[in-house]
Amino acid sequence: MTELTGTGYTDELNIAILVALMKHHGVRKIVASPGATNVTFVACLQRDPYFQVFSSVDERSAAYIACGMAAESGEPVALSCTGATASRNYIPGLTEAYYRKLPVLAVTSTQHIGRIGNMVPQVIDRTNELNDICKLSVQCPTVHSADDRWACEASLNKALLELTHNGGGPVHINLVTTYSSNFNEKSLPDVRYVDRVDIGDKLPSLDGKRIAISVGAHPAWDAKLTAAVDRFCEKYGAVVATDHTSNYDGQYGILCPLVIKQSRYVPSCKNVDVMIHIGEISGAYAQPSAREVWRVSPDGVPRDTFGKLRYVFNMTEEKFFESYTGADNVSESASPSSNTYLEQWRAEDKRLRAKIGNIPFSNIWCAQQTAPKLPKNSVLHLAILNSLRSWNFFPIDSSIRGYANTGGFGIDGCMSSLIGASLASPDKLFFGVIGDLACFYDLNSLGNRQVSSNVRLMILNNGVGTEFKNYDHKAAKFGEEADAYMAARGHYGNRSRNLLRHYAEDLGYEYMSASDKEEFLANVGRFTCAEQFDKPVLFEVFTNSQDESDALRIMQTLETDAKGIAKEAVHGMLGDKGIRVIKKALGR
């Protein structure tokens, strides 16, 4: 048996993080039951004078003790038990807590989750809970990497916040232990705290901060929300960082991907103190670099998309921005005479656009030519990844709404979503841009007998999953070896000039095609005509994966500086995982 060392905290980081976060979130009272698997956790609690630890041998009784204690004190109360069937005895008490909305935190200590089902003594499956014993159940494995630590902090903050969210109730944490005997840690680790702000709470200060509002995929904005955001930006000198799915049409927007996606250049405008995150999942893979992130959503769920979450505001977006522009909540120092930050963004964007040279015939070139020609008040649907990325480099009229299937982020259903939207608004023109693999994946949708004449589809046919041939994709490192299975080259007619033509025309579509820039320019005017025709349109554009890759490289290397070259070199040596480790160590 390993000798016990030290009289401080454990070196098991997941346990130490939980203890630190319990202190921050005000979980002071603990009812502990004896056992071996929870020794490390209990030792940390009983050695820290912040906590009040009570003992109960019977876990069923312990859970009811916690109910009574929580009801009387009005505070969250934690439970701690060992492995085997100990946690099963919590079920009656947690059921009581669930229906009375009592903030009881059940911390069930466990061996490595991989031992479940492998006939290891005292290991049972706690990965699925009854639906009325806890509001939320999270697994808390051991921490071995920066990603592990981010996941640990994110899930534990979410769990602890859920104790008092929407009226409160019980929460379960399944805490893995390695039975470490090392208690030499003199203090708890520095951890990222996430706090929830409700309507009526004191608002964190934004005075003196550089602020960007990062908007993910977002429904069409109403006038009141747009006005609230514009007043906020005027007051705080903030900008609204968008892509085509953000749908913000106010005065302070900047289409950010061109500036942010520069791989050899780090613009100063990219760095902010606070990034206010609204909307849902973005497919732009581009957002400002922030010291901390504030998530605003009426669901009140702490979603730590960027690994920098500090607050989650449990309110509507409109309420959040109105709260910060009220006279009682803003100091005089928060009112700039002009929005210099927005001016910096626009100047940077303009400077980079002036550097765009001759782009090869590609999705990106087609976007450059087509985006400014799209009719006002039309709707643009973009397939995920390559099409969305390509079109996000170029602005469209603010009256045009943009959408992409970034929720599940699958190849399937891009055209079906467009067709469904077009049926809901027959008086609008709906434009879709999609690659050949995604098109053929969803090909049956074109045969729907109700497809209307307000549909215009542009199909980029390069005969391969060109995403996997782009110069900066991992699969591209395999060269031609990637074609057969990683990039799926040669399917669906292998860039046949007749397959889609016959299919579309037999279904009653107007068909047009282009194999070079001249043919494209000869057809794009009709494709973007503001008048509805008597039939839907399919515009097939034949490109090749090398030109697609070269075009992307041009757009992402418009500028170079020493910091950007160093960043690219380090990224090449360390990869995404290594970069995250270094950022975590530097606290960025």
CATH number at residue 239: 3.40.50.1220
Query: Helices (H) and strands (E) in the chain — how many of each?
Result: 17, 19
Shared domain for 420 and 566, answered yes or no, is: no
| C-alpha to C-alpha distance for 125 and 116, rounded to whole angstroms | 6
- Which helix (H) or strand (E) segment holds residue 310: the answer is strand 309-314
Query: Please, which residues have CB within 8 angstroms of residue 215's CB and are 6 or more apart in sequence?
Result: 240, 241, 242, 246, 247, 248, 278, 279, 282
Q: Domain residues for 565? A: 560-586
Residue type, 167: G
Domain co-membership, 475 together with 372: yes
With a CB cutoff of 8 Å and minimum separation 6, the contacts of 299 are 314
Tokens of 448: 């729907």
Query: CB–CB of 514/542 below 8 Å?
Result: yes
Give tens-digit pLDDT for 232-264: 999 999 999 999 999 999 999 999 999 999 999
Measured in degrees and rounded to the nearest 5, phi and psi for residue 154 equal -65, -45
Q: Look up residue 299 and give its two tokens.
A: 């669901």
Q: Classify residue 216: in a domain, yes or no.
A: yes
* 437 occurs within a structural domain: yes
Question: Of 405, 532, 391, which is closest to residue 456 (Cα–Cα)?
Answer: 532
**Are residues 216 and 187 part of one domain?**
no
* Domain shared by 497 and 525, yes or no: yes
Q: In this structure, how many other beta carbons lie within 10 angstroms of the beta carbon of residue 237?
A: 20
- The ranges of the chain with pLDDT < 50 are 327-328, 330-336, 585-588
- Could you tell me the CA-to-CA distances from 558 to 148, 259, 352 in Å, in that order? 35, 9, 6
468 in any annotated domain: yes
| Residues 237 and 292 placed together within one structural domain of the fold | yes
> Which secondary-structure segment (H or E) carries 433?
strand 430-435
Q: Which residues contact 381 (CB under 8 A, 6 or more apart)?
A: 402, 403, 404, 414, 417, 418, 421, 430, 431, 432, 433
Query: Would you say 100 and 52 are in contact if contact means Cβ atoms under 8 Å apart?
Result: no
Single out the residue of 377, 404, 365, 373 nearest to residue 518, CA to CA: 365
- Asked if residue 3 is part of any domain, the answer here is no
Shared domain for 419 and 273, answered yes or no, is: no
pLDDT of residue 586: 43
Measured over all CA atoms, what is the biggest interatomic distance in the chain, rounded to whole angstroms? Answer: 83
**Same-domain pairing of 282 and 370:** no
Three-state DSSP class for 126? coil
Same structural domain for residues 142 and 216? no
Residue 346 phi, psi (nearest 5): -65, -40
CA distance 588 to 584: 6
Distance, CA of 465 to CA of 475 (rounded, Å):
11
| 413 and 319 housed in the same domain | no
d(C-alpha 234, C-alpha 145), whole Å: 41
pLDDT of residue 334: 45
Which of 351, 373, 388 is the endpoint of a domain?
A: 351
Domain contains 512: yes
Specify the 3-state DSSP secondary structure of 302.
coil
List the structure tokens of 553: 């490289």
Q: What domain count does the chain have?
A: 4
* End position of a domain, from candidates 135, 157, 191: 191
| Element spanning 382, H or E | strand 379-382
Q: For residue 324, with 0-12 CB atoms within 10 Å meaning exposed, 13-18 middle and 19 or more buried, which class applies? A: buried
d(CA 494, CA 462): 8
d(CA 271, CA 252): 17
Residue 8, in any domain of the structure: no
What is the rounded CA–CA span in Å between residue 498 and residue 542? 12
Q: What is the distance between the alpha carbons of residues 100 and 77, in angstroms, rounded to a whole number?
A: 14
Provide the 10 A C-beta neighbour count for residue 159.
24
Q: 546 and 568: one domain?
A: no
Does residue 88 lie in a domain region?
Answer: yes
Q: How many CB atoms lie within 10 A of CB 407?
A: 10
Residue 429 lies in a domain: yes
| pLDDT score of 393 | 97
d(C-alpha 483, C-alpha 413), whole Å: 24
Same domain, yes or no, for 291 and 438? Answer: no
pLDDT of residue 121: 81
Residues 361, 469: Cα–Cα separation, whole Å: 16
Task: Give the span between the Cα atoms of 582 and 286, in whole angstroms.
Answer: 20
In this structure, the answer to whether residues 333 and 388 fall within a common structural domain is no
- The domain that contains 130 carries what CATH number? 3.40.50.970
Angstrom CA distances, 147 to 87, 141, 317, 423, stand at 28, 12, 30, 43
Containing 432, the helix (H) or strand (E) segment is strand 430-435
- Edge-to-edge, what's the strand order for the sheet holding 211-215? 195-198, 309-314, 289-297, 271-278, 211-215, 239-242, 253-255
